Structure 1
Amino acid sequence: MRKTLLGATCLLVLGWLLLAAAAGPPAPLATGSPPATLPPPSGYHVRAGQVHDPDGRPVQLRGINHFGFNAPILQPQFLWKMGWKAQITQIKTLGFNAVRLPFVPDTLHVTTPVDQLSWLDGPENQQLVGKTPLQVLDLWMAEADRQGLYVVLDFHSVSAQRQYPTWFVDTPADFGLMYHGRAYTEQDWIDDLVFVAARYAHLRRFIGIDLYNEPNGIVRWSAGDSSAADPRYHWKTAAEKAAAAVLTANPDLLVFVAGITGNWDGREDSTIPMNYGENLQPQAYQPLDIRGDKLVLSPHTYGPDVYGKSTFEASDYPANLAAHWEVLFGQFHPRHAVIIGEWGGHYGRGPGAGPGDVAWQDALVEYLQGKGIHSSFYWCYTPNSDDTGGILDAQLRVREDKMALLRRHWGAQ
């Protein structure tokens, strides 16, 4: 009898091993499912790849980027022709329910009134005269919340002058950047994230913080590339520290984490051409130590109007795109919430418009529909983003073709 039972047990174990081998390797642990010992999430949270509100209802983010607080004007774009409240109203009327709002440290710390930084026109904007950028941000956040728009605050760069590849500046002379006469440190970045997380905690529709826009250049996900071994430039560690601080300051928020460019660690597929912020491949084998029910993976992806890739010159373009998107970020849905933080282009019209961008944007929408991903943040609202244009054209007319594209992406509401 003992021999018979042992044989049966061996057969069962062998069968289990064969089934496991057929199913492939187990999914990595950290990051998608927080340990059972963690308390239930507070506020906004992720379940089965879908954002939910504090009451547990699913939230689709029909989002648009509205920049300006990250630029030298340190206020929303086009207030020389549009009222600031009217912009928020139009965004909502067009069908958007969420705004990704870029900002920089100067938004929080410069005390020069905004009317000295850029021309303001119209009676509505007189309310902003004499106010600092932070005071204008306070007003904007409160009004967006009042009108029912979700807001993701995006820490866009350490500089209002340009997109900087890292979340800190080592020396004041680095690329001519200065922050009050000294370096801007990683701790400064975390402190500023904590500041906005706490300052707007009373606003119900303040849904999340995007920790840093498009880390690139010397930045790597983590260890693996001997030519970039300095841990100061490892995005995984920095994002984990920042996320922990943000969620301590405001546990109701979601944390949006962008991808990088190549990690070049011998494990990812580095042969795929990558945009800034597009590559999340290392999440598969070096996952973020951030609560999975608070984490949103937020890649950026752009077509030929913005950034040239060999992909766009291939004979099978645009059919070749989906396979790359799947490797770079799509593979993580629905284990994680995957919400593209930036995508867009001229879509066939406007200065700089190229012939391939319409096919690219149409292909992305088709890919996202096939994945069941209906949340994203389109770039952008106003027309003065040179390589994409906006939802508004140069005469501030609505681009109905772009809106039709977005409605296809959003699906039935």
Structure 2
Amino acid sequence: MANKILKRVAAVVSAAAVLLVPTSARLPEKTASAAPDEYHDDWLHVNDKAQIVDMNGNEVWLTGVNWFGYNVGSQVFDGVWSQNMHHCLDLIADHGFNLLRVPMSTEILLQWKNKKPDGLVKVNQYENPELTVEGVEGGTIKYSFDIWNQAVEWCRENGLKIMIDIHCATTASNGHQVATWYDSKYSTEDWIEALEWVTDYYKDDDTIIAIDLKNEPHGKHDEGAMAKWDGSKDINNWKYAAERGAKAVLDINPNLLIMVEGIEVYPKFEEGQDWDSPGIDYTTMYSPYYGAWWGANLRGVRDYPIDLGKYQSQLVYSPHDYGPEVWKQDWFYLEDPSKTFSRETLLDDYWRDTWAFIGEEKIAPLLIGEWGGWVDDEHDKTGENRHWLKEIRDYMIDNHIHHTFWCFNENSSDTGGLVYDNFGKWDDVKYEFVKPALWQDKNGK
């Protein structure tokens, strides 16, 4: 096992000096609170230069990947229905990713807290004997929370850190389409309860170093639900909710990094618009809002920055960004149709005022929580998406922006993933696009 750990470190060790955990040291099965000292001090924080650093002040570059499933009803990572979960985590670590963003739901966290029975856990027990009660092929599948804790242990062995992402309130494949962190089934208070429980459970285990409070808040005034960003205490004010959620987490574990995403639209206040303005005037095609990808609009940070008080050193802003194959947004079109977008046009037409100013002005660190897309001729016939991937990748490299690529899963319909053939084969072509943006030592490892 020691050789295995050293192998992982060679592949994924980051500037944060990932801890080498003795093979004899293991968390008790029932609780993480009795963890040995080795799990206590590999936390990260933000310095006065808006850099994420380790306990010794060394700058860290978090370069990770998303793997979903716990948010959609699988009760486990998608793909474990056909592949060995341990092997998949090994693949992620061996390819140099040092952070795993794991989408979950408020519902599944409260299910685990209250020890409610599982639904269907999509585990192939013949491929995953380690995930059975008996430890044999074809055995009885373990409770989903026990399986999750096994994943946490394997990530710890691999030097792979974890960020829990509250992707939706209710577990559902389309849960991310709900605009807010609450819905008809789970309230803001339920969301905070789930945050508090998962934070407390892992407060002594530095394998889990971050929480993304809510995936992609969005919506417009005339769409029925809308996340806004202002100085009010309105139920749909994401800025206020994010501060509440962050404080609930940090009062329990002041060492966690807190990811705060943006929203979708921000009013053109200088033109007399406000949060009650309709989405668009279809007679003139005038929009009273500055638009963005869901969760990407951080313009409100200028007027109403997130205030975490004594915990400000744990704040990271986390927009999402995608290319033209997901949707041909306005900023992908230029006045001269013979020309295509570039880093400069993307910055001028969208990135800078929407989120990039936060990093450029050293207000706080940025972590692009989702970016990705197709790299093959079938899906990207014009090559535009590959061009966009290169532009954002190189911008993140040049500015040392943290990121988690979307995604490991092959079953992301509008982006594809890093694996294919029922999660059985690694996509080397796509990986070559991502690889330059992964943390590497001076020897390229």
TM-score bucket (shorter structure): 0.7 to 0.9
After TM superposition, give the deviation of residue 59 of structure 1 in Å.
1.8
After TM superposition, give the deviation of residue 295 of structure 1 in Å.
0.2
Corresponding residue for 2:230?
222
Q: 1:209 aligns with which of 211, 224, 231?
A: 211
1:108 aligns with 2:106: no
1:300 aligns with 2:308: no
The amino acid of 2:323's aligned partner reads G
TM-score, structure 1 as length reference? 0.79
The C-alpha deviation readout for 1:354-408, integer Å capped at 9, x for no partner, is: 64211111111222234x1242000000211111111113363222232222222
Q: 1:124 aligns with which of 103, 124, 128?
A: 128
Higher CA-based Rg: 1
SS at match of 1:233: coil
- In the alignment, is the contact (CA less than 8 A) between 1:273 and 1:310 conserved in 2? no
Q: How do residues 234-383 of structure 1 correspond to structure 2 at under 5 angstroms?
A: 234-266=237-269, 273-290=291-308, 291-314=311-334, 315=337, 316-319=339-342, 320-323=345-348, 324-333=350-359, 334-349=362-377, 355-370=383-398, 372-383=399-410
The C-alpha deviation readout for 1:124-165, integer Å capped at 9, x for no partner, is: 345244433322222212221222111110000012212121
The amino acid of 1:375's aligned partner reads H
- In the alignment, is the contact (CA less than 8 A) between 1:107 and 1:134 conserved in 2? no
Distance in 1 between residues matched to 2:320 and 2:269, nearest whole Å: 23
The C-alpha deviation readout for 1:222-242, integer Å capped at 9, x for no partner, is: 25xxxxx88111111000000
After TM superposition, give the deviation of residue 248 of structure 1 in Å.
0.6
- In the alignment, is the contact (CA less than 8 A) between 1:352 and 1:387 conserved in 2? no
Distance in 2 between residues matched to 1:239 and 1:410, nearest whole Å: 29
- In the alignment, is the contact (CA less than 8 A) between 2:267 and 2:289 conserved in 1? no
Corresponding residue for 1:406?
434
Q: Which runs of 5+ in 1 are unaligned?
A: 1-40, 172-182, 224-228
Distance in 1 between residues matched to 2:265 and 2:303, nearest whole Å: 15
The amino acid of 1:280's aligned partner reads L
Corresponding residue for 2:160?
149
Q: Alignment RMSD, CA only? A: 2.5
- In the alignment, is the contact (CA less than 8 A) between 2:218 and 2:264 conserved in 1? yes
SS at match of 1:386: coil
Distance in 2 between residues matched to 1:100 and 1:44, nearest whole Å: 16
- In the alignment, is the contact (CA less than 8 A) between 1:212 and 1:258 conserved in 2? yes
Distance in 2 between residues matched to 1:313 and 1:305, nearest whole Å: 13
Deviates more, 1:352-361 or 1:287-296: 352-361
Structure-2 change in CA distance of 1:267 and 1:253 (3 Å): farther
The amino acid of 2:188's aligned partner reads E
The C-alpha deviation readout for 1:237-296, integer Å capped at 9, x for no partner, is: 000000001001111101000011112151599765410011111101211112431100
Number of corresponding residues = 354
The C-alpha deviation readout for 1:305-353, integer Å capped at 9, x for no partner, is: 2223122233343222122111111111133111100011112356587
Q: How do residues 74-223 of structure 1 correspond to structure 2 at under 5 angstroms?
A: 74-110=75-111, 111-113=116-118, 116-125=120-129, 127-128=131-132, 129-161=140-172, 162=174, 163=176, 164-169=178-183, 171=184, 183-217=185-219, 218-222=226-230
- In the alignment, is the contact (CA less than 8 A) between 2:131 and 2:147 conserved in 1? no
SS at match of 2:332: helix
Structure-2 change in CA distance of 1:308 and 1:358 (3 Å): same
Structure-2 change in CA distance of 1:168 and 1:58 (3 Å): same
Corresponding residue for 1:35?
none
- In the alignment, is the contact (CA less than 8 A) between 1:44 and 1:254 conserved in 2? yes
Distance in 1 between residues matched to 2:171 and 2:381, nearest whole Å: 26
- In the alignment, is the contact (CA less than 8 A) between 2:268 and 2:289 conserved in 1? no
Structure-2 change in CA distance of 1:68 and 1:353 (3 Å): farther
Tell me the percent identity: 27
Structure-2 change in CA distance of 1:367 and 1:273 (3 Å): farther
1:45 aligns with 2:48: no
Structure-2 change in CA distance of 1:42 and 1:346 (3 Å): closer
SS at match of 1:156: strand
Corresponding residue for 1:11?
none
The C-alpha deviation readout for 1:204-229, integer Å capped at 9, x for no partner, is: 22111000000011111125xxxxx8
After TM superposition, give the deviation of residue 105 of structure 1 in Å.
2.4
